[in-house]
Structures are given as C-alpha cells and as structure tokens.
Amino acid sequence: MNWSEKAWLTIQPIYNEIIRSPFIKELMAGTLPREKFIFYIRQDTLYLNEYRKVLTAIASKLDHPGHVEAFLHFAGGTMMVERELHRLFTGELALNPGDENVSSPTCLLYTSYLLRQIGSAPVEVMLGAVLPCFWIYKEVGDYILAHQTTENNPYQRWIDMYGGEEFEKSNATAISICDEVAERCTLEQQDAMTKAFVSCSKLEWMFWDSAYKQEQWSI
C-alpha cells in the first residue's frame, strides 16, 4: 500500500464517527437546525482564511512545478468557496456588532495547529496536516449523496459543493502529491506525516461537533 492508503486505514474509525455524528446525520436528512448550520458556516469561513495561508506556504516549499501550481490553485479555491458560501447564505451570515472574527475554541485550536506547521514542520508533515480537509470532506459529500433520501434538502447546495466532480479532482490531486512526496521520505518522515494526518482528522470531527453544540468561550 502507498502512504495515503495506510493513512486512511489509520483514521477510518475517526471518519466513521464523523458520518455518525448528529451534525452530519441531520445535515443529510435536512433537519439540522438552521442556527447550527450558520454557526458552522461562520466558523468555516474563519478556518478557510487561515487554511489558505498554509496552502500557500506549502506551495512555497514544494520543488515540483506541477505541485506548486496545484497548491496555489487550492489556495485560490478556498477564496472561491468563501465567496460562494456568502453568496448562498447572504443575510444569514450577518454578525452582531463585536462578533466579527471570533473563532470558537475548536476553530482556534485547529487553525493554530495548522499555522504552527508553517514555521516548525517540514513540507511532508504540512501535507499530512492539510489533507484531511480535502479527503474527509470529499468522502462525507459522497456519503451524503449516496445515502440521502430527503428531497428538497435545504443544505443541498453545500452537499453538492463537496460531493461534486470539481472537488473530486482537487482531492485526487492532493492525495497524489502526498503519495509522491511520501515515496521520497524515510519511514520516520512518513510516520510524522501520518501523525499530522491523524491529528487533523480528529480536529475535523471536533469542528463539526463544536458546530452542533454551537461552542462558545466559557469566559
């Protein structure tokens, strides 16, 4: 097996918990309370703004021109996702005065972990850290499309965004680049990649769980 196949087997239990989570189950059924979904979108917008910085930093560290181009494209794509989300939910995303740019504890934990990789981690570890946001979202989108039974789901446009062909291409490219880089790594370096991949997969579960609970700072 290549690196990505082994890495996915490692996080399979985490992924199973994600698709069993109340957020995903209710999103798939179209019964997720609107305020929970809008909370999630607000936090995801804050997350993507920081995630884009990490994608750009990875592009600056890669040596293959095609890989550099791909990650610059990914970074630009996160801006398009932000704009599309705001277009779809204009009005509902308006914040109360003073609430701008307030990350939930989980969102801040996730983005802080990713941003720390820029100055402290080798590029292969950075790749392992950003891959769950590609791969898990694609798998969740495909899972919902394959199992949903609700017609006129109010969240269908979000589902289609991540279960669509364009996101599949980006996901496949990201996985391929990770495998190509991993092939040139030692076993110790591959283990470090996997640890980052597992940590961020756990943070993906935490992100959806915190959105369902509409997590707030307790002080």
Annotated active-site positions, please?
133, 204
**Cα–Cα distance for residue pair 29/149, rounded to 1 Å:** 7
User: What would the DSSP string read from start to end of 2-30?
Assistant: -HHHHHHHHHHHHHHHHHHSHHHHHHHHT
**Cα–Cα distance for residue pair 190/150, rounded to 1 Å:** 41
Q: Are 43 and 206 in contact (CB under 8 A)?
A: no
**Cα–Cα distance for residue pair 183/29, rounded to 1 Å:** 41
- The b/e string for 157-194 (b: 16+ C-beta within 10 A; e otherwise) is ebbebbbeeebeebbebbbebbeebbeebeeebbebbb
Instruction: Write the CB contacts of 44 (distance below 8 Å, at least 6 apart in sequence).
Output: 85, 207
